[in-house]
Structure 1
Amino acid sequence: MSRVNQTLEVVDKGEAGDRHRTPLLFVHGAFHSAWCWDEHFLDFFADRGYRAVALNLRGHANSPSPTPLSRCTVADYVDDVHAVAQGLPTPPVVIGHSMGGFVVQKYLAAHVAPAGVLVASAPPRGLVPAVARIIRTHPRHSARTRSLDKPLEFFGTPQIARALFYSPGTPDELVDRYVGRLQDESTRVLYRDLTFGDLAQPRRVSAPMLVLGAELDGFFSMREVRATARAYRTVAEFFPAMGHNMMLEPGWAAVAEHIDTWLTGQGL
């Protein structure tokens, strides 16, 4: 672990070299932190000759926040990505998962980057369809938890977490271990910024984009992922039999290989 500007905690592995001079900056999704990238992806890309950096957004893991986590905004998270990116020798490729993918979209609308990768990302239009679908599918659990002020009480419930984050083929021991590492998330981000308050602006993004989806994603439908790709003038690519947490699922290596191949094809 290291810190950028003595504030945000990051996990930093590998070194940029002749094969890949551009660093990679990974942005985690809601309820997670940098550990979700450190489990497999950071070592994979470091071994392939990249410098691979994953940050903990403010209020996550050991990254402090000047305001309570519940009041953090998407703009705050974008500032965190920018702060880490500025500490790198060259602008990084930004790679975001789920909520982190939405943060990446907002970052790319305001900052120059060589490329962006969206992994099971929240759509540019926000979370309203996904949240409505989740509540409709799991009415009993959503009704008896304080999901509006303590969203982890709903999303961190073992049954819900398995259904939303993982495929049926993911071993129970992995799901249990990863669910135990979840933490609460900003209610401002989930229920305001990503529903109506601060939506993405794809037309402002000029960086080439790779959009990846999971066939068995419990959060975002394949239709939503395809719409995300169209918004960024590309075509979504899907991984069969995978759940939302594509970087932690048993088939994670295929996802990492695909990203590596795409980046290499972009000259990065």
Structure 2
Amino acid sequence: MSRTRVVFVHGLWIHSSSWSPWVDLFREAGYDPIAPGWPGDGATVAETRANPERLAGKGIAEVTDHYAGIIAGLEQPPVVIGHSFGGLIAQKLLGQGLARAAVAIDPGQIKGVKPLPFAQLRSGFPVLGKPGNAKRAVSLTAKQFRYGFGNAIDAAESDALYEQFTIPGPGRPLFEAAAANFRSSSPAKVDVANATRGPLLFVSGGRDHTVPDVVTRAAYKLYAKSPAVTELRQFPDRGHSLVLDHGWREVADVVREWVETKVPAS
């Protein structure tokens, strides 16, 4: 029997190589994990930084379709684990019946989520402050990364993560998420009422500026009418870098144990 597949989906501004420790952990636990990049991503951080035009204009629908295509080539539906906008993509794939289970870690804002804290606005301002960025790929500065991702770790670690993993990100998904509640056909819409989907776990960082805990909890509550399993785990002292900073293992172990309970390795 083939091993249970796990697909990791990164978010804006972070390269898929950041998932490497998670991939190793899940492989050792008996799963068959992969961490493919977004459409337009290069194989390395350096390659992606050198070719930002390949990412420009990519939106939520294109990214979702890209991962749906990858899943279509697998022998079985996988568990999908996503961070930030990857968490939004994970929810969409689960709602569409393409995943066995999903984990949404500090997930990008889906349609129906109403809280809009100042910290989230400030984190998104480098992109949302210029409407033309909807057609561009935008890079964060080290200072912007420190506020949006690394505020719960020390400055030296934040700067090191910035140098190691950050890449340009398409501006379009942020504009789509920001306008989601004003568009009936928004690509940020997720089938929260799907009663036959697999289990879903939300993970929230209590000090997250990019996706504050109140935003993750609001998304979690949107699933209340579905009888399918939906759970929430909170890490009060963690920020948006929780999947890649020095404390990644604590989060990964909680996620791995949850997955093992809901979808045992085959």
Normalising by the smaller structure, the TM-score range is 0.7 to 0.9
- Note the alpha carbon deviations across 1:212-246, whole angstroms, 9 max, x for none: 01111111222211111222343421113211122
- State the 1:250 CA deviation: 1.7
- State the 1:138 CA deviation: 9.4
In structure 1, the partner of 2:172 is 188
In structure 1, the partner of 2:32 is 51
Structure-2-length-normalised TM-score: 0.79
Q: Is the 8 A contact 2:123 2:144 kept in 1?
A: no
Q: Which of 190, 193, 203 is 1:203 aligned to? A: 193
1:223 matches 2:217: no
Q: Which amino acid aligns with 2:204?
A: G
Q: Is the 8 A contact 1:167 1:243 kept in 2?
A: yes
Q: 1:128 to 1:166 in 2, by over 3 A?
A: farther
Structure-1-length-normalised TM-score: 0.78
In structure 2, the partner of 1:42 is 23
Distance 1:227 1:239 in 2: 16
Q: 1:135 to 1:247 in 2, by over 3 A?
A: closer
Q: 1:151 to 1:162 in 2, by over 3 A?
A: farther
Flag as ranges the 4+ runs of structure 1 deviating above 6 A: none
Distance 1:241 1:235 in 2: 19
1:1-268 superposed matches below 5 A: 21-38=3-20, 40-62=21-43, 68-125=54-111, 130=116, 133-135=119-121, 148-149=132-133, 152-153=138-139, 156-170=140-154, 172=156, 174-180=157-163, 181-192=165-176, 195-196=179-180, 197-201=186-190, 202-204=192-194, 206-233=197-224, 234-268=230-264
Partner SS for 1:71: coil
Aligned residues: 243
Q: Which runs of 5+ in 1 are unaligned?
A: 1-15
Superposition RMSD in Å: 3.1
Q: Is the 8 A contact 1:226 1:235 kept in 2?
A: no
In structure 1, the partner of 2:227 is none
Distance 2:132 2:204 in 1: 27
- Note the alpha carbon deviations across 1:99-141, whole angstroms, 9 max, x for none: 11111122222233210101111132378855864445898x7
Distance 1:158 1:147 in 2: 22
Partner SS for 1:216: coil
- Note the alpha carbon deviations across 1:182-204, whole angstroms, 9 max, x for none: 22222222213553232222123
Q: Is the 8 A contact 2:114 2:218 kept in 1?
A: no
Q: Is the 8 A contact 1:243 1:249 kept in 2?
A: no
Q: Is the 8 A contact 1:128 1:195 kept in 2?
A: no
Q: Is the 8 A contact 1:112 1:207 kept in 2?
A: no
